[in-house]
Structures are given as C-alpha cells and as structure tokens.
Chain A
Amino acid sequence: MREKIIELQNITKTYDNGFTAVSDFNLYVKRGEFITFLGPSGCGKTTTLRMIAGFELPTEGKILLNGKDIANLPPYERPINTVFQRYALFPHMNIYENIAFGLRQKKMSEDVIKKKVKKVLELVDLEGFEKRSVATLSGGQQQRIAIARAVVNEPEILLLDEPLGALDLKMRKEMQLELKEMHERLGITFIYVTHDQEEALTMSDTIVVMSKGKIQQIGTPEDIYNEPKNAFVADFIGESNIFNGIMTGKLKARFGGGEFECVDDIEEGTLITAVVRPEDVIITTPQEGTIRGTVTSVIFKGIHYEIVVESGKNEMVIQSVRAPKVGDYVGMKVDPDNIHIMIAEDNTNYFMVDINSDHRLEFNGKLLDTSVTKIIKGSRRLENGSIADSAGEVIDPQRTKISAAIHPRNIQMTDDISAGNVDGYISNLIYKGDHYSYVIHTDLDQDFIADDEYLWNMGDHVGLIMPVDKMTFKLVRK
C-alpha cells in the first residue's frame, strides 16, 4: 500500500461571521492518487482546498504533509501548487515569464529555467509559445499554461480548483482525458475540486462527496455510483429515484407504492431510503410489474428516452431505449440487485404538501393553518391572495412544492378517523422500551411512523393528528 502523503485531521473552518464552511473533516490522501472533492456550491470543497494550499487557515485541526503539520504555514512554504479556477495567469508577463515565476523564486539558474519551461510546454502541447502574451491565448490554452506553471515546480501535490469550469463542453471532455493522462505520466498527487459529477466519475481514483461542510462518502467512482451511502449522495451522483420506505420482511421493502424484493438484509420495520437508478427500471406489461402507473412524459435524449411514470402519489423517472407513449398504462419492475437500500437517517416523516388554488397549504385535502409566506423566503401575499416570491414573481402552485417534516413523537394516534390529518392501517409495530413505534400505511401510499405509549393492534384503522406547529416546512424547487 502506498503511504499517506497528506492527512487532514479534524479540520474545521469557521469564518469571522460565524459561518462554518467545513466541520470536522478527516481525510487522508495516498501518494500519487487522483482524488476529487465533489459537491454542490457552498459545500466547503473549495475552502478545504484553500486550506491545503495555505490561503485559508483552519480554525481547528491539523494538516499533516508527510507527517508534519503544515496547517499554519504560509502558501509559499508549502511544496504544493494550485491551478486556479480562472487560471490567474499574470497578464503583465509573457508565457515564459509566467511559467518561470515559481522557478525564479527558487533562484534557479537561467539555463535550468529555460530547459524546464521548454519541457513543460511540450508536456502541455504548446511548444514555442514562450514569447506569446497571455491575452492572445484561448481559454483552453490558458488552462494548459496554468497547469504548466504549476507542474513545472514539481510539487508534491497539485491542487486543481474547478479548472475546467470555464471551458465549453467539448473542450472540457478533451481536457478531462488529458489531465488524467498527465496525472499518470507525472505521478504527482492530484487533488481536484468540482461540482460536476460526471467529471469526478471520469477522472478520479477516489471521490470525496461533500455537503454542508461534511464528508458524505469517500469511495471509488464505482462505489459512489453503485452503493451511495445516503440519499444526498444518491441524488447528487447520477440521476436517481429516491423513495422513503420501510422494510416489510426479510429482503423485502415497500416503497414507491409497491413491495420490492431486495438484497439488503435490514431488520423488518426499519424506515429506509430506497434508491433506484433510472436506467435500472424495466418497463413491463401492467400484470408483470411490481408497480403500475401512467406515462406522463417521454423525452428523447439522444442515446435513450427519459420517461416519467406517475404511479399513485409517486413519480418514477426511467431511462430506456424503447419508449412507450404518453398516457400508456405500464408496469415497472426492478432487479433486486439494482435497488439500493439505506437505513433512513432518522425517523422523521417527510411528506409533500400542496399549495391549493387559494395559495394556502393543504395536505390530504385538508387545510394546514400556517403561513406560506414564512416558508418561502422573502415572499409576500398579494392583495388577490396569491403569493409573490422575493423577486416579485407570482408563485405557480403547480410548479412549487413544499415538503413537510414531522417527528413521530409529535404525531398523535386516534380512532376518530375524521379527526386526523390522514388515516391508515397499522402495518407494523415495534416496542421501543417506553413506547411503541407504529408504522401506519396510508391510502396515499405513504408510510408514517408514529410513537405512542398505548398498544394498538396490527391492522387497526387509525387517524393521525399532526399539529401544524410541530411541522417544519421546506420549499422544494422544481
């Protein structure tokens, strides 16, 4: 096994304004590895990179380079070089001077510099560009010079901060392959930052998926794609159908309106998150399918069709080379191997609520007494009752969804069916020491978890009272 070249221990970065960009970050990188920090903007990936480079100092934690803590060293004392997002080539120097900058700082002789610059220009396929000025180069060429300027110093680690972000798609694909090849040829450790999951999957040996300043999963591209650890990773890497569900028996899970066989052995009654990749859903006849639904849209995407099937309250996105017609009633099944089951992080019930035509919140056809304007940031109610967002545009109830969350302990069970926000039949109960945890399967094809200290029986028809003040709401963009 190759040795660790850099290790980040309990790194936390909190800015003066109190914002924590990275919290308790632990990671090691092996010599020669191509590792990618992947995550949406604001997830802390660039901050982490900047701490490795030395542009930011961590609030807490250690950065060990070959075993020595460099967390508080200035950037110019670290054997690490960076390729910047917008290249950051020096506009007042020609290409030669740009590349020679780092070598001159090391007081190398002009002969050596000349040779090294020539060699590195060959590496990036821009021989003879020494005398050119930065302004005359195209984006792709500037990119190569930026890489050349960094690698000419023979750093132990090369940091790349979304280096392909400013290039067009075709150029980006080309550069991806070239960078990968360069990595193999140079043997330098690459730490790469991107929000583009495809880029990460193509190039990396290891991917670190980040969200909200925390590592969500570390693994090879295959691991990350095939065995996402949680709903965030599944959603962020590739396209996914994600359902909340519950284990209903040995190797059996119910989600998305049907009971599926799966390969994950998880205790019955556990709330789960199930992930199904669009390409893994097989369209069948209605009789053969595990679940059934109506095709609501078919879009041609070049190599495949993207099909959306609505099944009860659930939506399934499918990629297939053969397309049914919109309005067709079809069955869907999924090979057990292709269902990824994760234990839900907590038992909180999540469900979608609607905005009705009066712009009030509604669940299961019953009004929820709360203010929509408080949920949508910066919004206000107009005189005609509709809601305008912070930009002043009227919100279309069809295109805006709000998700609600409520903890099981806040749900009250009653035998007065009409008193509840929703009703259903108890499909599972587990004694949890001081209370029972019930799973109630509703007519909306959704399972709710409720805690109650009294004993009910399996199959009992109950109403669930969910106080609005105990719910939290979140706007889901569409």
Chain B
Amino acid sequence: MHALKLTRKSLGIPYALFLLLFVAAPLIVLVYYAFTNGQGQFTVSNLTGFFTDPNTLGTLCYSFAIAVTTTVVCLLLAYPTAYILAKSNFKRKSVVVMLFIMPMWINFSLRITALKEILTLIEGNLAYYPFLNAVIGMTYDFLPFMILPIYNTIVKLDESLIEAAKDLGADERSAFFKITLPLSVPGIVSGIAMVFLPAMTNYVVLDMLYNSTYIMGSLIGSYFAAYNWHGGSMIALILLGIICAFTLATKGMEDEDGSAAGGALL
C-alpha cells in the first residue's frame, strides 16, 4: 500500500511541474509586468491609462461589438444546423457532422486566404466593409466550435422528455421552446465561450483579410511590437478578467439547470 501511494504521488509530479512552468509562472510574470513601469516600480498607471485613453476604450468597444455580432451570427447559424443534424435519421450521421467540423482541420491561413479571394471578388475592395468582413471571417473560422457543443447536448437529450411534453399536451413548437431549448442551454453556453472570447482577440483573421481595424488582440500585438510589455500585459490581464467573469457567470447558469456542461467536448 505504502509503495502504491508513493507511486501515485510521484505520478503527479510532471503535472505539477507543467502547471507551475506554463500556467502559474507566466501568470505571475504577466501580473508583474502589468503593475510595473519601465523602471520596475509598482504602478497602476497601465490600468488607469487603459480606461482613460479613448483609443483603447474605443478598441474595447469595437472588439466587443465584433465579438457579440460574431457570436450571435454563429449561434443563429449553428443552432438550427446542430438541431437538424441531431434529429436527422442520416445513416452516417457522424460523417455529416464531420463535414461541418472538417474546415477546422484545414490550415487556417489557407482557409482565410480563400475567403479573402472570394470576398474580394464580391466586394471589390475589402477596405469598404471592415466590420462586415471581420464578422464574416470570424464566423467562418469559429462556426464549428459553436455547432459541436450544441449538437452534443441535443443529441444526448433524452427523447422521452420531448415525448412526455407532447403527452402532457404540448405541441411541437411548445415542446421545443419549453423542453429542447432550455435543456440545450449548456451547449449554447459552451459554444458562446468557444466563440466570443477568441472573437475579441483573434486579430490574425483581420490581418489576413487586410483589415486595418483594431481589436483587443491587435492592440496587445501593437504594444508588444513597440516593446511596451507593461501596457500589453495589462490589456491581456483585463481580457483574462473578462474571461473569468464570463466563465463564472455561465457556470452559475449551468449549475442552476442542474445539468452537466454537455458541451464540454472540445
């Protein structure tokens, strides 16, 4: 017994080391940089600077708008798709699901470049519609991340619950809105988490679409390009705060439903 205990403990060491090296240490470095200035003195000016500079605040709002729009568009596209996929009687359902997931396996720059060419054909000059292009690019990139968790929750949904609702007098519509939709909320929440946060920061999509507008990710990138580690770190920390707040909020939501996060597949 004693020997076994030791073994188990030692098995945990690599994991602990990994956590320390790649999670805890970078976080400490991040916090240190965020609250110091170029001379290494403690300061909150990075924080106050961010919230008083109209440029950075504008970028925050702009990223927020892009992220919200992308998420909503993704959700509107993904939910019906996932629902139809989950309820269909396709013989090889998994293959059809795979078709929707496949783009994730194709190289990112190739996909976006192709999208850029298509958009150029349609719009002529990409610079005319920066917001629209950003949303299209992000939606194209993140849609599978929204479909998959929603599909998973709907597919796992106990069919007898819907039958029970109909048995109790609910028609198709009413059964959907009272049973299926509320019970797929965990999938929707995971989908939103998978799409919303990357959509705020993934400026590579914008760059590759020759989009000159700034989102949070581009802001951090520009700070770092100018060797301003302190300002960049603070923005990263603020984003981290937003992620944490979002996760905590949605976690409460899932617990209220009394159902495990069915979308925790990825």
How many A residues touch the partner, as a band? Answer: 20 to 34
Interfacial chain A residues near B167, Cβ < 8 Å: 53-55, 75-76, 80-82, 150
Is A432 close to B, CB under 8 A?
Answer: no
Contacts between chains A and B (CB distance < 8 A), count = 70
A131 smallest CB distance to B (angstroms): 14
CA distance A31 to B165 in the complex (A): 25
Is the Cβ of A88 less than 8 Å from the Cβ of B169? Answer: no
Interfacial chain B residues near A135, Cβ < 8 Å: 258
Interfacial chain A residues near B182, Cβ < 8 Å: 92
Q: A88-B164, A91-B258 are in contact. Are A76 and B171 (CB under 8 A)?
A: yes
Is the Cβ of A149 less than 8 Å from the Cβ of B168? Answer: yes
Is the Cβ of B166 less than 8 Å from the Cβ of A76? Answer: yes
Is the Cβ of B169 less than 8 Å from the Cβ of A106? Answer: yes
Which chain B residue has the least Cβ–Cβ distance from A101? B168
Q: Within B145-201, which residues are at the interface with A (CB < 8 Å)? A: 158, 160-161, 163-171, 174, 178-179, 182-183
Which chain A residue has the least Cβ–Cβ distance from B185? A92
Is the Cβ of A105 less than 8 Å from the Cβ of B257? Answer: no
Is the Cβ of B258 less than 8 Å from the Cβ of A92? Answer: yes
CA distance A244 to B169 in the complex (A): 52
Interfacial chain B residues near A84, Cβ < 8 Å: 160, 163-164
Is the Cβ of B174 less than 8 Å from the Cβ of A105? Answer: yes
Is A133 close to B, CB under 8 A?
Answer: yes
Interfacial chain A residues near B169, Cβ < 8 Å: 76, 102, 105-106, 153
CA distance A403 to B121 in the complex (A): 75
Q: A105-B174, A134-B258, A135-B258 are in contact. Are A88 and B168 (CB under 8 A)?
A: no
Digitize A78-110: 1 where CB-to-B-CB distance is under 8 Å, 0 elsewhere: 001110111011111000000001100110000
B50 smallest CB distance to A (angstroms): 40
Is A238 close to B, CB under 8 A?
Answer: no
Q: A90-B164, A92-B182, A92-B183 are in contact. Are A74 and B259 (CB under 8 A)?
A: no
Is the Cβ of B174 less than 8 Å from the Cβ of A75? Answer: no
Interfacial chain B residues near A92, Cβ < 8 Å: 182-183, 257-259
CA distance A90 to B165 in the complex (A): 9
Q: A76-B170, A101-B165 are in contact. Are A88 and B258 (CB under 8 A)?
A: no
Is the Cβ of A82 less than 8 Å from the Cβ of B183? Answer: no
A216 smallest CB distance to B (angstroms): 28
CA distance A85 to B160 in the complex (A): 9
Q: List 5 A-B contacts (CB under 8 A).
A: A76-B168, A76-B170, A85-B160, A90-B164, A135-B258
Q: A54-B167, A105-B170 are in contact. List 15 more A-B contacts (CB 8 A).
A: A80-B167, A82-B164, A85-B160, A88-B160, A88-B161, A91-B257, A92-B182, A92-B183, A101-B165, A101-B178, A102-B168, A106-B169, A133-B258, A149-B168, A153-B168
Using a CB–CB distance below 8 Å, which chain B residues touch chain A? Answer: 158, 160-161, 163-171, 174, 178-179, 182-183, 257-259
Top 3 A-B pairs, shortest CB-CB distance:
A105-B169, A102-B168, A88-B164
Using a CB–CB distance below 8 Å, which chain A residues touch chain B? Answer: 53-55, 74-76, 80-82, 84-86, 88-92, 101-102, 105-106, 133-135, 149-150, 153
